[in-house]
Amino acid sequence: METFEPVIDTRQEKEPRPSFLTVLCILSFISLGLSLLSGFMGLISGPMGEEMVLEQKMEWAKMADELRSVGADGFVRIIDQFSRMIDSLNANHYGNTIVTIFVRLIGIVGVILMWKGRKNGFHLYIVYSILAIIQLYFFVSPADIPTVMIVVNLVISGLFVFLYSRNLKWMS
């Protein structure tokens, strides 16, 4: 007669996901999901028509005139850059939209992997953060991209990467 010995499970149960990581992931899911939805809507709607472009240029010009009248010439330069950037993005609408969707998908996969406790999701999220910042340079001249926009994006991306890094000890 055979005797059966109980099998001892040597796997350790993983501690539950930290609530801070849960909050960060949910915020990222919301942001990336809305951006992805916006990208798909942009694919469906197509580039802005000539009338809409003209209307937008009039609004930018009106805003620039108001800023000039109060002596805020530095902001006028930023408004001009935004106007040229929007023109470039509209001219390259489908390429930019497809790249945007692809980059956001990388971000979502990274967040899903971190949600599951995988460290490679953190590394993928860093790749997403870098691509999200430099993707504009694929379609817009660097002279037409306002520095303030890049700095704000770097700060926000850097903050999220830092906050996610606080949870690396939980990930495997």
Q: Pick the range with the lowest mean pLDDT from 73-77, 84-88, 107-111.
A: 73-77
Which helix (H) or strand (E) segment is 110 a member of?
helix 93-115
In a domain, residue 120? The reply is: yes
Q: What is the pLDDT of residue 11?
A: 46
Our count of domains for the chain comes to 1
Range of the domain at 125: 19-165
For 6, the token pair is 């109980």
Q: What is the pTM of this model?
A: 0.84
In a domain, residue 10? The reply is: no
In a domain, residue 6? The reply is: no
For 21, the token pair is 């990581």
Least Cα distance to 90 among 118, 63, 55, 66 occurs for 55
In a domain, residue 12? The reply is: no
In a domain, residue 140? The reply is: yes
In this structure, are residues 80 and 134 in contact, taking their beta carbons and an 8 Å threshold?
A: no
What confidence tens digit (pLDDT) does each residue in 25-66 have?
Answer: 999 999 999 999 999 999 999 999 989 988 988 898 899 889
